[in-house]
């Protein structure tokens, strides 16, 4: 009934990607954060919870399993999509500066390239949902598209606000270089402590749960109603790649938030420690507590919510920046 | 290879199939025995929504004539290696529904069952012990 796939094939493709030290570090950090998140949720529900390394076990287990392709699905596209998603995130992590530790070269790309790379996982999930040929995948596809339409607006407004704020101070109108943004904040204080930027900070905070699929906005991948939507037909190594993609996306979004709003002025080892601390704090506050305390919205409620509040915050933030300049 | 096997066995994902059960065993699985109260997540288990992600299959119910084909089809969609656990007396012998015209079971006429957990419904402790046995069997097959 199903065609089988050689798991070795995928491992060989994946190996060089994983061997890059920076992305490897980000992946390990992301998986550890996920482990902490699962333990914290279990403790909040008065359970013991899984071991800290559980996400690593899950990925290694998935690599051992059989990978199936449903009848009627375009085989090459179906198996290439998870790889494409994971690769886009491995590239994106290379574009985000870690203040004081790592500065990406300007020729690789700027904030705009990063914006496009951040859209790829959602597009990959949409294509995966429709390529799998399953009804649940199709529902996941339509939900993923609606929620993407809803959250891309606030993200764009936030990025433009920060870019205009930095650009105006440098005599240009707008700058999309992340390094310029980080350096400006290191000289003049973080945007997080500037009341004019607070609407933009709030808009970015509300963009995170929809982009990362955290309740109440995990509607496209709702496991109890649409059987994880786009991931419904994936099994084995292909599913592991999707897990890696979402882990990397978490780190990219967190690191981008830190670069945009609160890069520190430290350098060297100490800066790395502070970065890890900020990421963890940010992650546990925005993800774990939210996940433990709310249920899931309907897609129309989430769509309306995003068009009302984060969009409004984004517009207000942008107007404030322009008026101030 | 044994290191990878030892690591992998700590991540068994559970999938529930209701083969015409009265819902008693399902309530035990969903609310007390596994995740929320007695917490098999400490063994690394987690429920998955679709058969494609599953490692350990928990079957409840006496396999009624109406759901037989669908249960067998869903069972086929679970990728190897997998372990089958029959929860409750119904899939093992038919329980109180035994000899009914509407029953196609017992389930081991069609599927190789690895662990039986009898009871109507079984106690949570029994279910957890059954899952621990299933994990050991699963380790052999990895």
Q: Using CA of residue A131, residue A251, residue A184, residue A162, what is the dihedral sign?
A: positive
Radius of gyration (Cα) for chain B, nearest Å?
14
The token duo for A102 is: 């790592």
Radius of gyration (Cα) for chain A, nearest Å?
20
Q: Are B72 and B110 in contact (CB under 8 A)?
A: yes
pLDDT digits (tens, 9 = 90+) for A205-214: 888 888 888 8
Confidence of residue A2 (pLDDT cuts 50, 70, 90): very low
Residue B64 is classified by DSSP as B
Please list every residue in chain A whose beta carbon sits closer than 8 Å to the beta carbon of residue B52. 68, 232-235, 239
Q: Are A68 and B51 in contact (CB under 8 A)?
A: no
Average pLDDT over residues A242-266: 85
Are residues A234 and B52, on separate chains, in Cβ contact within 8 Å?
yes
Q: List residues in chain A touching B: CB distance below 8 A.
A: 1-2, 38, 42, 45, 47-51, 54, 56-58, 60-61, 64-68, 136, 223-224, 227-228, 231-236, 239
Which contacts (CB < 8 Å, 24+ apart) does range A181-189 have? Answer: A181/A111, A181/A259, A181/A260, A182/A97, A182/A99, A182/A259, A182/A263, A185/A262, A185/A263, A186/A99, A186/A263, A186/A264, A186/A265
Q: Are A182 and A259 in contact (CB under 8 A)?
A: yes
pLDDT digits (tens, 9 = 90+) for B22-52: 888 888 888 766 667 788 888 888 888 888 8
pLDDT digits (tens, 9 = 90+) for B74-130: 998 888 788 999 998 988 888 888 888 988 878 888 888 999 999 888 888 888 889
| CA-closest candidate to residue A135, choices A26, A7, A225, A241 | A225
- Residue B23 belongs to domain with CATH number: 3.40.50.12280
Q: What's the total number of domains in chain B?
A: 1
- Does B2 reside within a domain? no
Are residues B8 and A45, on separate chains, in Cβ contact within 8 Å?
no
B80 part of contact set with chain A, CB < 8 Å: yes
| CA-closest candidate to residue A249, choices A87, A53, A42, A16 | A87
Res A4: pLDDT: 44
Confidence of residue A72 (pLDDT cuts 50, 70, 90): confident
Check whether A252 has a pLDDT greater than 60.
yes
Q: What is the mean pLDDT of chain A?
A: 81
B window 40-59, beta carbon within 8 A of A: 41-42, 44, 46-50, 52-53, 55
Are residues A235 and B79, on separate chains, in Cβ contact within 8 Å?
yes
- Does B52 reside within a domain? yes
Q: What percent of chain A has pLDDT over 90?
A: 0
Range of the domain at B73: 10-141
B36 part of contact set with chain A, CB < 8 Å: yes
Q: Which residue has the higher pLDDT, B2 or B68?
A: B68
Check whether A229 has a pLDDT greater than 80.
no
Average pLDDT over residues A75-93: 85
CA dihedral B24, B71, A82, A15 (to 10 degrees): 90
| DSSP states of A62-79 | HHHS--EE-TTS-HHHHH
Residue B119 is classified by DSSP as S
Range of the domain at A244: 3-324
Q: How many helices (H) and strands (E) does chain B have?
A: 5, 5
Rounded Cα distance, A207 and A242, in Å: 21
Rounded Cα distance, A128 and A264, in Å: 39
Angle (CA) A50-A40-A254 rounded to 5° is 110
Res A3: pLDDT: 40
* Three-class secondary structure of residue A165 per DSSP: helix
Region at A213 (left for phi over 0; alpha for psi -120 to 50; beta for the rest): left
- Does B18 reside within a domain? yes
Q: Using CA of residue A24, residue A41, residue A276, residue A177, what is the dihedral sign?
A: positive
A73 to chain B, closest Cα gap in Å: 15
Backbone angles phi, psi at A213, to 5 degrees: 70, 50
pLDDT digits (tens, 9 = 90+) for A144-188: 888 888 888 888 888 888 888 888 877 777 778 888 788 788 777
Res A20: pLDDT: 63
Nearest to A64 among B4, B36, B48 (CB): B4
pLDDT digits (tens, 9 = 90+) for A96-151: 887 766 777 666 668 888 888 888 998 998 888 888 878 888 888 888 888 888 88
Average pLDDT over residues A20-38: 83
Q: Are A262 and A191 in contact (CB under 8 A)?
A: yes
- Does B133 reside within a domain? yes
- Does B3 reside within a domain? no
Average pLDDT over residues A52-69: 85
Res A44: pLDDT: 84
Please list every residue in chain A whose beta carbon sits closer than 8 Å to the beta carbon of residue B10. 51, 54, 57, 61
- Does B4 reside within a domain? no
pTM listed for this prediction: 0.85
Res B83: pLDDT: 92
Res B84: pLDDT: 92
């Amino acid at each position: 009934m199903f065609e089988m796939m050689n798991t070795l094939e995928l491992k060989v493709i994946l190996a060089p990607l994983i061997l890059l030290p920076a992305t490897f570090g980000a992946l390990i950090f992301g998986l550890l954060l996920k482990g902490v998140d699962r333990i914290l949720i279990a403790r909040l529900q008065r359970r013991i919870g899984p071991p800290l390394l559980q996400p690593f076990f899950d990925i290694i287990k998935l690599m051992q399993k059989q990978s199936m392709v449903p009848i009627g699905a375009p085989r090459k596209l179906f198996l290439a999509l998870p790889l494409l998603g994971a690769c886009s995130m491995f590239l994106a992590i290379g574009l985000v500066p870690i203040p004081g530790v790592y500065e990406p070269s300007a020729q690789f790309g700027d904030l705009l390239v990063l914006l496009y790379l951040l859209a790829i996982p959602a597009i990959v999930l949409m294509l995966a949902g429709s390529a799998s040929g399953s009804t649940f995948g199709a529902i996941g596809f339509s939900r993923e598209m609606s929620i993407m339409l809803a959250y891309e607006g606030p993200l764009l407004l936030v990025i433009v606000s920060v870019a205009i704020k930095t650009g105006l101070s440098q005599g240009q109108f707008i700058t999309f270089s992340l390094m310029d943004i980080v350096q400006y904040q290191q000289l003049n204080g973080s945007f997080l402590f500037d009341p004019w930027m607070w609407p933009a900070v709030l808009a970015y905070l509300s963009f995170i749960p929809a982009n990362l699929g955290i309740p109440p906005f995990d509607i496209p991948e709702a496991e109890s109603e649409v059987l994880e939507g786009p991931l419904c037909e994936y099994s084995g190594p292909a599913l592991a790649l999707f897990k890696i993609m979402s882990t990397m996306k978490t780190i990219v979004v967190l690191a981008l938030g830190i670069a945009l709003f609160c890069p520190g002025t430290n350098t060297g080892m100490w800066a790395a420690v502070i970065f890890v601390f900020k990421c963890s704090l940010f992650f546990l506050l925005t993800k774990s507590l939210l996940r433990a305390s709310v249920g899931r919205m309907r897609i129309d409620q989430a769509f309306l919510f995003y068009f009302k509040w984060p969009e409004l915050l984004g517009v207000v933030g942008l107007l404030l920046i322009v008026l101030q300049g | 290879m044994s290191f990878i096997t030892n690591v992998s066995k700590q991540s068994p994902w559970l999938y529930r199939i209701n083969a015409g059960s009265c819902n008693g065993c399902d309530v035990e699985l969903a609310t007390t025995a596994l995740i929320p109260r007695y917490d098999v997540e400490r063994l690394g288990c987690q429920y998955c929504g679709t058969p494609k992600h599953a490692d350990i299959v928990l079957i409840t119910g006496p396999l009624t004539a109406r759901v037989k084909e669908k249960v067998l089809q869903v069972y086929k969609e679970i990728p190897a290696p997998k372990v089958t656990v029959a929860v409750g007396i119904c899939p093992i012998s038919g329980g109180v529904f035994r000899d009914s015209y509407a029953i196609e079971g017992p389930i081991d006429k069609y599927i190789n069952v690895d662990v039986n957990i009898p009871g109507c419904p079984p106690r949570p402790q029994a279910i957890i012990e059954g899952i621990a046995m299933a994990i050991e069997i699963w380790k052999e097959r990895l």
